[in-house]
Amino acid sequence: MDILELFIASLLLFLLFLWFFVRPMSVLVSGLFKKKKERTLHYGTGVSVIVPCHNEADTIEKTVVSILNQNLKIPLEVILIENNSTDNTYFVIQQLSTKYPQVVPLSIATPRAHNPISFSLNHGINHCKYDIVVRLDADTELAPTSIQKAIAPIINGDASTTATNIRLSNLKENLLTRLQGLDYYFSMELDRRSQRLYNGVLCCSGAMQVFKLSDLREIGGYNNQKDMGEDMEITFRMHDKGKVEMTPEAIAFTDVPHTIKSLIHQRAWWMKIGIVTTYMHKKKIGKKYGRKGMFGLVALPIKVFTTFQGLIGVVIKLIGALILSQTNTGGDFISGFLWFSILHIGLNLFSLLTIAPVTHSKQGLGQWYLLPIYSLIYQPFLAVIRAYAVLQGILLILRMKKIYPSTTSADYVK
């Protein structure tokens, strides 16, 4: 083994050590030794929950009921904003306002070249009457303490906004949803909980976000550009207001795609708008930004790695097998790749089990037996989708520079 091969092998081992040992161990240690704080709901007058609704006539009541069943001792309003629906969603939410006095029905049509979700949310923000704002997607269902747990860091002044712990409401539908259960387990309990340690939370999922109303109005609300990831983009800007927290105790449930076609569409779209969003904030990459500067210096550069994580894993196994086959161990390339694949599965299993004692939702943990499929097929498959979506995002950015040369970051909130 020459010096170059030794250097490459050492670098790969170091990266594996950081990713598969340091990350889960940091989550475990921080979870075990986290100081418990008494959370007293003393801030402001109540909570405004805003929910954009597009063709949700058949399902929106289930979401509303889960909101109204929250364990809260302060007033709560539920603002439902119908937007460009082709069914009778607005009629349904009007009926819900009669049935449940806390429901406020609104309707607005999104102009062309605007993000309908952002446009709806900004309309809802303009009608909020309470100091704390919780944004939910229309297919989100909440555990009874979800809002109470989610708003605590905001109320106590520990954060400017908070990401929550998103799980699946259709986990057991088929093999694909079970694999996504594993995916969400790692994403929420490992990725975002490790990001919070250096204030590097990249995205507070739109399934459930929490803000102060005053902050939302001060920054101008959500970005209305149609090709922008509104939940990620507002997360980026909220780093300027203070710490962006991840509250794993606040658990919300959402439906995930149950077919490969719908999964491809969802993940490609997420990645494409994520690339556009990151581009719009490109000046923050590698610079001191946000609380203690770690968001720009660490979190955004790491995003490049996580975007291609599955493909990088395959490349690492190929390089490792190639180096191993050229040593005097007598192994060939195929057997080397096999051993590295087994190691990959083992490392994922180590991560899964290491964080298990401090997880706030065990959902996904029970799918451990799918780790071989998850590691060797599911992750590389998603990485290929992301790589294709990155190219789409770059092409979109090139077109946007001609179409939207002076796009602002936020507007339309009074």
Averaging pLDDT over each range in 179-193, 220-234, 320-334, which range is the top one? 179-193
In this structure, the number of other CB atoms found within 10 A of the CB of residue 261 comes to 8
Tens of pLDDT, residue by residue over 17-69, are: 888 898 999 999 999 987 665 555 555 679 999 999 999 999 999 999 999 99
Tens of pLDDT, residue by residue over 207-241, are: 999 999 999 999 999 999 888 889 999 998 998 88
| Rounded Cα–Cα distance for residues 34 and 73 (Å) | 26
Please state, rounded to an integer, the average pLDDT across all residues of the chain: 86
Tens of pLDDT, residue by residue over 166-176, are: 999 999 999 99
Residue 300 pLDDT: 65
Of 41-50, 139-148, 362-371, minimum mean pLDDT range: 41-50
Tens of pLDDT, residue by residue over 249-303, are: 999 999 999 999 999 999 999 989 988 888 888 777 665 555 555 666 666 666 6
Asked whether the beta carbons of 410 and 221 are under 8 A apart, the reply is yes
Position with higher pLDDT, 109 vs 412:
109
| Local confidence band at 406 (pLDDT 50, 70, 90 cut-offs) | very low
> What are the sequence ranges of the domains in the chain?
12-41+140-414
